Chain A
C-alpha cells in the first residue's frame, strides 16, 4: 500500500497561559484509501494534531510529509496552494459562507484552484451535490439550509478538488442520529470506492469503531493504533 501521510517526531508546545507540552513525539503513517479516526478525551491533543496535519498550524517541531511533499517549513502562500489542491475539510460546524448559494460555496475552492473552466467547475459541483443527494438545494442561500443539509454541502465543498486527504474535525458532532448515519455512509463510500484517505477526529465511539483504524491518544501520546 502507498503511504499518503507520514508524521515523524512531531512535538507541539502551547505557551499561553503557561508552557504545556501538547504533543509528545508523535510518529505515524496513513495509507492511501484508509479511513482513520483519532480518538481520545478532551485535551489529549487529537484536534491539535489534526490541525498540524492540515498545514494551517505551522508552529511545531518534527516533520510532516503529505503525498511525498514535505509541508514542514513551507511559506504560507505555498501551504495555501497545497491545501487548496490536496486537502478537503469538514468541521463540526459547517462554516459555509452565508452570502453565497450552496452551489457557489462548493465551487469556490475549485475556482481558486483554476484548473477547470467555469462551466466545468459548475458541472463538477453539481456532480458532487448529486452524490450527496443535495442537487435540489444548489441555488439556495447557504444561510437558509438546515444543519444536516449544510453539513452535506460542506462535504461536497471538501470534495470538489478531489483532494488526496479529507480531514474532519468531529464532522458529525453537531448532527442527529439520522444525519450522522448519512454523513458516515458518505465518508465510508469515499474511502472504500473512491480511494480517498479520510482522517477524522471524533468523540463518538460508534462512529470510530466502524472506521478502518483508530488512533487513540492520551495526554499528547498515541497509546493505541
Chain B
C-alpha cells in the first residue's frame, strides 16, 4: 500500500517536470547508445580480423626451423668431453634441407588425435613469377588442394575458376587475387615460375582466390605438391610444412607444444603466429571497455546531478510529506523510483539508438584499400552487449540515485517548516 502511494507521488513528480525528466533520460540514452555503437563496431572489427587471420593461418603449423648455430660438431658425440675440446673455425653450412623427415608417419600419427580435423602436408618455396615483362617475388605452396581447402575454407574465397580444376589440369595453378592482378593473368593464361635454384616451370592459371588480407593475396599461389617437388627437383616424400586444422582452435596452444616436443620440429599455434595482430585486438578490446565504462559513468553523474537538483527544489515537499507521516524510507523510495525510471526508459531508448546507429555504420562503405577487402564496416549485433547495456545502465542509475535519495530521506523537516 505504502509503496503504491510512494510510486504514485514519484510518477507525478516525473510527469509534472517532463522536460527535466527527458533531459535526464537523454543523458542515459546517449551514454548507452554510444556504448553500444562502440562495442558493436569494435567487436565487429575484431571478429572480422580474427576470422580472416584464422582462415589464413593454420591452427597449428609444423615446420623445420632453420638453425643458425653451427658451432657444435658431430665430433662432440664421439669424443670424451673431459679431455677433448672440439673447436670449429668458420663453420659454413652445406646442403641443409629444410624438409620434414618421415612425413607419412608423422601425418598418420597426428590424424589419430581426436581434436584434429584436417592435416595438410605442404611444400612451400620462394619463387619469382614471370608473365611477359612482369617479374614478381612471391611464394608457392605445393598442397593436396582438397585437404588445404578443408583447412582454409578456400571454397568461399575463390574469385574465379574452380578448385577441382587444379586436380584435372596438368601443371595448374591457383593465384592470389592481388598477384593475378599484378601479373595481369586470368584463368587460362600461362605464368612462368622460377625457383631460387634457377629452375623454371610454366603453369596454367585455373583460378584466383582472395583471403581479404593483402599480405597473402599479393604473394601466395597454390599448385599440386608434385609440381613443386618437380620444380625444386626433389623426391615425392619431400615436404617442408604440415598444417593442421582443429575441431576446437582454442586448444591449439597446448597441442602445438606437445607436437613440437614429440616430433622435434617447430610447431606454432595460430595465436603465436599472429601475435602482433592478437595484441592489437586485445588493445582494442581494452580501449572499448574503458571508453564504454566512461560513457556509462558520465551518464550516471548526469543522473546524480539532476536528482540532487530535484531534491533541492523539493525540500519543502519532503518536509511536508514527513510532517504528514511519511517515513524516511518512503521519501527515499519516492526519489529512488524516479531515478530508476529515468534509468530504465533512458536505457531502453539507448538500446534503440545504439541499434540504429550500429545499423547506420554497418551500411557505411569501407574505404577501399589494398590490405583488407571488405565493402562495409563490420558490425556485430550480439544480444549480450544489449543485455549488458541495460543492466549496467540500471546499475549506474541505481547507484547515482541512491545517494541523493538517502540524503532526501534524512532531511530534517523542522528546519524547513520553520523557515
Interface set of A (CB-CB < 8 Å, partner B):
47, 51, 54, 56-57, 76-77, 80-85, 89, 91-93, 95-100, 104, 108-109, 111-114, 157, 169
Contact = CB atoms under 8 A, between A and B. Distances in A.
Interface in B298-319: 316-317, 319
Contact of B323 (A56, A76, A98, A114): A56
11 contacts: A51-B417, A80-B322, A84-B325, A93-B419, A95-B316, A95-B319, A97-B317, A108-B5, A109-B324, A112-B2, A157-B324
Interface string B315-343: 01101111111111110000000000000
A100 B320 CA distance: 13
Interface residues of B, number: 27
Contacts of A157: 324
A100 B15 CA distance: 11
Given A99-B12, A112-B2, A114-B2, A83 B324 contact: yes
Interface of B: 1-2, 5, 8-9, 12-13, 16, 316-317, 319-330, 413-414, 417-419
Contact of B1 (A76, A84, A114): A114
A76 B418 CA distance: 19
Given A56-B413, A57-B414, A97 B320 contact: yes
A54 B9 CA distance: 24
Contacts of A51: 414, 417-418
Given A95-B323, A114-B2, 13 more contacts: A51-B414, A76-B327, A76-B328, A81-B327, A82-B325, A84-B325, A95-B316, A95-B417, A96-B320, A97-B320, A98-B16, A112-B325, A114-B1
Given A56-B322, A84-B324, A77 B414 contact: no
Contacts, number: 78
Given A95-B319, A97-B320, A99-B16, A47 B418 contact: yes
Contacts of A99: 12-13, 16
Contacts of A76: 327-328
Contacts of B320: 89, 95-97
Contacts of B323: 54, 56, 83, 89, 95
Contact of A112 (B324, B328, B413, B417): B324
Central interface residue in B2, B324, B327, by most chain A CB within 10 Å: B324
A108 B12 contact: no
A99 to B, nearest CB: 4
A92 B327 CA distance: 23
Nearest to A84: B325
Contacts of A111: 1, 5, 8
A112 B326 contact: yes
A77 B327 contact: yes
Given A99-B13, A99-B16, A108-B5, A83 B325 contact: yes
